[in-house]
Amino acid sequence: MGISKSFKTCVQGATLLFFSNVAEGAIVYVSNQGLDKIQVVDTDAKKVIKEIEVAKTPHNLIFSHDKKWLFVASVGSGDVSIIEVESGKIAARIPTDKRAHGMALSPDGKELYSINVGANNVSVIDVAERKVVATIRVGNAPAVAVFGKDGKKAYVSNGGDNTISVVDTKKRQVVKTISLPKGKAEKHEHTVGAMGIERSPDGKEICVSNGFANSISIVDVAKDRVVKTIPTGKEAHGLVFSPDGRFVYVTNRLEHNVSVIDTRERKVVHAIPVAQKPDIIEISPDGKIAFATSREDKALVLIDLVDHKQLDSIPLAGDPHGVVFFK
């Protein structure tokens, strides 16, 4: 018996839809400091589809607001690379200072802060001019930073002295230092205090992970003071807000899981077991999937945030660290 034309059309349409979904699946960029490369990962195909060679030991990376440019901080070379996303070519390398570790982009996209963990300072980069225009002294071993929603202040997490430096972005100077819980470092580790830092979607709060203090702290932006510290797992590191601000997800590097924190109840409501030593975490715009790098397993981990379980692990080799969502 022959197959009807309508059935063939239905099957072909389903097949095209399937492949279209694969082609349009989540694409994330990972900074692999063990390979000195940026890896572009297709999470549906479960493989690296492109690699971009960059300066020594790329640590963290962020996109411009329009996602036309990718900024990469390299701790090994002490600089920031600007990559044109469409071509994958490096458009500029900007020397910053010793061990460029993290970055933050101002809300208007005009200034990029390079957080230099080895120099205890921040390099202010004029994005259009592609050069450093100022240097701001902050705390000990600064890790990463985030701007306030209006861009008037920036918050720098200091891993060496468990503080946040509050920077007046117009004056380009620290106007307040916020103290945080201090932990006791394990062997081979030197950063005991503040690590990951993110702003809530409504801009009213800042969350910071407290490293070996095994907790996160919530900062009220209006008063620039800690309003709540919440215990997490062992060595809280990367963190990210859900798009609606209802949850914060925190990687616990020495507990090999992700804490799910309810921002209304101010407590951990789930602990999701994942791969060994999860590091930096990113989230899809719909809030359903998280992407975390695993330093120990040398992989990118996909996490179901609805059912709270690990979905997959994509091998990357080297030493994957930073991760950002592209599409």
Are the C-beta atoms of residues 198 and 242 closer than 8 Å to each other?
no
Q: How far apart are CA 285 and CA 244, in angstroms?
A: 10
Q: Exposure of 19 by Cβ count < 10 A (0-12 exposed, 13-18 middle, 19+ buried)?
A: exposed
CATH topology of domain 140-273: Methylamine Dehydrogenase; Chain H (2.130.10)
Q: Give the max Cα distance, the chain.
A: 80
* Those residues with Cβ within 8 angstroms of residue 181's Cβ, 6 or more apart along the chain or in another chain: 162, 193, 210, 213, 215, 217, 229
Q: What is the pLDDT along the chain (327 residues), one digit of tens a residue?
A: 344 444 333 434 433 333 333 334 799 999 999 999 999 999 999 999 999 999 999 999 999 999 999 999 999 999 999 999 999 999 999 999 999 999 999 999 999 999 999 999 999 999 999 999 999 999 999 999 999 999 999 999 999 999 999 999 999 999 999 999 987 776 555 557 899 999 999 999 999 999 999 999 999 999 999 999 999 999 999 999 999 999 999 999 999 999 999 999 999 999 999 999 999 999 999 999 999 999 999 999 999 999 999 999 999 999 999 999 999
Q: What is the Cα–Cα distance from 62 to 122, expressed in whole angstroms?
A: 16
Which residues on neighbouring strands pair with residue 225, listed in sequence order? 220
Q: Would you list the domain boundaries of the chain?
A: 140-273
For 204, 218, 227, the CA distances from 149, given in Å and listed in that order, are 8, 16, 19
Q: Note if the pTM is more than 0.85.
A: yes
Q: Dig out the tokens for 33 from the structure.
A: 């400091």
CA–CA separation, 152 and 132 (whole Å): 19
b/e map 145-181, b = 16+ CB within 10 Å: bbbbeebebbbbbbbbbbbbbbbebeeeebeeebebb
